[in-house]
Amino acid sequence: EVVLEDVFVSNENVFRAGTEQNVSPVIMNGLIWFELLATASYIGVVSSMVEKVLQSDKAPNLDKMHDLTADLVQTMNSLEGLTYKFINNQFLDFLLNEVLLVRDSIERKIEQISTQSAKLLGGMNFLTSLDTSYLLLVSQLLTFHPPSKQDCLALFEQYILGGASQQVDETTVLK
């Protein structure tokens, strides 16, 4: 553990999600890319769990396997849709808000998918397979990546009340 004491961080080096006036387009782009890539990484982790279920030697429960696969495809497609909007400079006014809302939804969906996958693989598999227990643990960690849900509530309030734009300058969008 690294603990920093009496360390000064100037205000320009602290990111506070907010309006266009206090967030530069470069920081906004970086945050959006981070959110998209971090979320995609955890979708990849839970995809490994679903794959283990689909390849399991246990008697298949097609109904539950269908639900797992449908939930996984839904999370992938929602993230892919936001990524498409971002890289094509579409509907950028509140894209950060949408990315954070979708990430929050995907966090909950990943938790459900990973838990259901572990159940379908069976209790003995969880106890004897380091791979299964590791994937289950790792799949829960997206929630610990910044920004926290609490930090996003001001942006959410602005989003639902139709506040100021979070416009990202087109010239800085990475392609």
Those residues with Cβ within 8 angstroms of residue 89's Cβ, 6 or more apart along the chain or in another chain: 170, 173
Q: Which amino acid is at 46?
A: V
Residue 173 contacts residue 66 (beta carbons within 8 Å): no
Which residue do the tokens 């990546």 mark?
A: 145
6-40: pLDDT as tens digits: 888 887 776 665 555 556 777 788 889 999 999 99
pLDDT at 151: 76
Section 100-106 average pLDDT: 93
pLDDT at 15: 60
44-67: pLDDT as tens digits: 999 999 999 999 887 678 999 999
Closest by CA position to 42, among listed 72, 66, 64, 70: 72
- Of residues 3 and 166, which shows the higher confidence score? 3
65-91: pLDDT as tens digits: 999 999 999 999 999 999 999 999 877
Q: For the ranges 24-33, 92-101, 141-150, 163-172, which has the lowest average pLDDT?
A: 163-172
Those residues with Cβ within 8 angstroms of residue 172's Cβ, 6 or more apart along the chain or in another chain: 25, 26, 29
* Among 12-21, 69-78, 132-141, 144-153, the range of highest mean pLDDT: 69-78
Average of per-residue pLDDT values in the chain: 83
